Structure 1
Amino acid sequence: MHNLAFDISHTLAGGLVLISFMMLYQDRLYSLLNVFALHAVVLALSVAWQAYIQDAPHLYVTAVIALVFKAIVIPVGLHRIVKQLGIHRDIESAVGIGPTMLAGMGLVALSMVLMLRVTSEADPLAREDLAFALSVVLLGLLVMVTRRNAVSQVVGFMSLENGLVLAATGAKGMPLVVEISVAFSILIAFIVIGIFLFRIRERFDSVDVSALDDFRGERR
């Protein structure tokens, strides 16, 4: 049973890393949002599995929150925002896909080396889950850095947060009150981000963040 738990846990965590690479590869907004929804579904499955093997029922709440909010509510909301604002569906990147993917592989390798050394005394299952979680966090950060579109940067931020949830649940879970507060924080952030995107579109007729740089340059 221990080996099975180990294998399934790593398969799900590794799946999150793989889907993070899929997000890096996307050049269309709708595709990116769909891949993020898949990312959230796999996160929910991973958390639910951790709840089962740790015998921690409160983690099922985290899994449900991830499934409902991140896999359904937020992607659907962002789809509607993109449609209502008439946002350009192609994603402009600051760096090409090839260099971005290579950078992503380097970050994953760094995560593995760093976490496996730092957590050498920890439980093997937790060690490798933490390494996968750090990979997801860094890949989410890479999405934010390499994308110019504000919506895609929002997706990068939320995928980064998925990595933090994976780390917290892999390290024997976190208190239920923390999970609920995180869920409400995400919901509030989503509402604020939606308002922010509407304001950017209204002011600059674009959600490309480079428009903000141009605006600052004009004011100098």
Structure 2
Amino acid sequence: MTSLSFDIAHLLAGGLVLVSFMMLYQDRLSALINVYALHALVLTLSVAWQAQVQHAPHLYVTAAIALGFKAVVIPLVLHRIVRRLGIHRDIETVVGIGPTMLAGMGLVALSMVVILRITPEADPLAREDLSFALSVLLLGLLVMVTRRNAVSQVIGFMSLENGLILAATGARGMPLVVEISVAFSIVIAFIVIGIFLFRIRERFDTVDVGALDSFRGERR
């Protein structure tokens, strides 16, 4: 692998971590959805470059799935759900943006230390991609636990899954049948999540998980 190939792969994987931080910073739901679309687009570019570097044509299928479903279809559907639910407002957070960003930087540092120490003999590109992938995964989890809105928690879950895809492609790819299975699983999960959100809105007139605490013990 040439130095340029390594640098580009490193830049794209690092860009995915940067966009994850952008997701942590957003306080508007529509902006968060748009940043998630950017997150999926950077993932697409990263996977496509891995396909080129590894000479693994089947990874282009993964890139196409990420571009079609994650960067286009899912953000459009999420925007439609937000409009239908009428939840155009700020996202309430458990803690402030400042402490959240500091926690995110700590998680990235932890990811780097853990992966680089447990994989000293691994391929340099794989080590870097795995450390970035773990960072993306942990930042997605942080989005989930620091947001009160159910839609933003769903976005955090899907960004977490983007980190898993980056890890799989960085570790010399994954079988095509696994990629297709993951794609169908994403679609099914997204449909279930959409139904779930509409049922919450219909039943409680809110998708703020903090506000749902007041409904505990309510009898029909």
Question: With structure 2 as the length reference, what TM-score do the two structures score?
Answer: 0.98
Give, as a single letter, the amino acid of the residue that structure 2 aligns with 1:171.
A
Is contact 1:204-1:211 (8 Å) kept? no
Q: State whether residues 138 and 160 of structure 1, in contact with CA within 8 Å, keep that contact through their aligned partners in structure 2.
A: yes
The residue identity in structure 1 corresponding to 2:93 is S
2:76 is the alignment partner of 1:58: no
Is the CA contact 2:17–2:132 (under 8 Å) kept in the aligned structure 1? Answer: yes
Contact 2:30 2:88 in 1 (8 A): no
- Pairs aligned (count): 219
Give the TM-score, by structure 1 length. Answer: 0.98
The residue number in structure 1 matching 2:38 is 38
RMSD of equivalent CA atoms = 0.9
Structure 1: segments with no counterpart, 5+ residues: none
Task: Tell whether 2:160 aligns with 1:197.
Answer: no
What percentage of aligned pairs have identical amino acids?
A: 83
Report how far residue 213 of structure 1 moved.
2.0
Cα distance in 2 for residues equivalent to 1:119 and 1:203: 49
**What is the deviation of 1:2?**
1.4
Q: Counterpart amino acid of 1:209?
A: V
1:17 equivalent in alignment to 2:12: no
- Report the alpha carbon displacement of residue 214 of structure 1 after superposing the two structures with TM: 1.8
The equivalent residue for 2:72 is 72
8 Å contact kept, 2:5–2:53: yes
2:155 corresponds in structure 1 to 155
Q: Is 1:131 paired with 2:128?
A: no
**What are the superposed Cα offsets for residues 149-188 of structure 1, whole Å, 9 maximum, x if unpaired?**
0000000000000000000000000000000010110111
Q: Which amino acid aligns with 2:10?
A: H
Match of 2:216, SS state, is helix
Cross-structure match for 1:87:
87
Distance 1:192 1:87 in 2: 19
Q: SS where residue 173 of structure 1 aligns?
A: coil
Aligned equivalents of 2:144 and 2:155: distance in 1? 8
Give secondary structure in 2 for the equivalent of 1:77. helix
What CA distance in whole angstroms lies between the structure 1 residues aligned with 2:88 and 2:52? Answer: 43
Paired residue type of 1:100: T
Unaligned runs of 5+ in 2: none
Deviates more, 1:34-43 or 1:87-96: 87-96
